[in-house]
């Protein structure tokens, strides 16, 4: 009988095992490759929703080249106008700074997301996405 990792329990003791500590964070799998996961903050465990209003480069000077344009277009087409649960945004790698700003890393750079809190999941905002010109 091995007690590796567990403190010895005196024989004849009727003390039950100590309750486990409160969960520090939880693992989600949204937006990840099969079999992988990402640790998400405890604040994200509850159903808080955010609508992504705009994805942009922030204060950065964007170079006008194929890679930058493709990554920015991809982020805009897949985030702008949609409402996401906080845990989903974080599972996809976004870091939510406050109720109006989040940061998302894609294509080797950090993109800024302008977000707004939302009461619940809702349809995509009109005028956003790939059909927008």
Residue in the structure block whose two tokens are 């890679």: 67
Least-confidence region, from 21-35, 39-53, 94-108: 21-35
Q: Do the beta carbons of residue 106 and residue 112 sit within 8 Å? A: no
pTM over 0.75: no
Q: Give the model confidence (pLDDT) of 43-74 as tens digits.
A: 654 678 899 999 999 888 888 999 999 999 99
Q: To 5 degrees, how large is the angle CA 56–CA 88–CA 50?
A: 60
Whether pLDDT at 6 is above 60: no
Taking the C-alpha atoms of residue 31 and residue 26, their distance in angstroms, rounded to an integer, is: 15
């Amino acid at each position: 009988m091995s007690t590796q990792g567990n403190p010895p329990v005196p024989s004849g003791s009727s003390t039950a095992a100590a309750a486990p500590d409160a969960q520090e964070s939880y693992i989600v799998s949204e937006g990840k490759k099969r079999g992988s996961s990402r640790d998400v903050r405890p604040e994200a465990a509850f159903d808080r929703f955010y609508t992504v209003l705009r994805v942009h480069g922030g204060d950065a000077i964007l170079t006008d080249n194929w890679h930058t344009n493709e990554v920015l277009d991809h982020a805009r087409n897949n985030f702008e106008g949609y409402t996401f649960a906080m845990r989903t945004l974080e599972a996809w790698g976004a870091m939510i700074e406050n109720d109006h700003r989040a940061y998302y890393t894609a294509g080797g750079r950090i993109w800024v997301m302008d977000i707004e809190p939302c009461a619940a999941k809702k349809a995509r905002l009109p005028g956003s996405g790939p059909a927008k010109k």
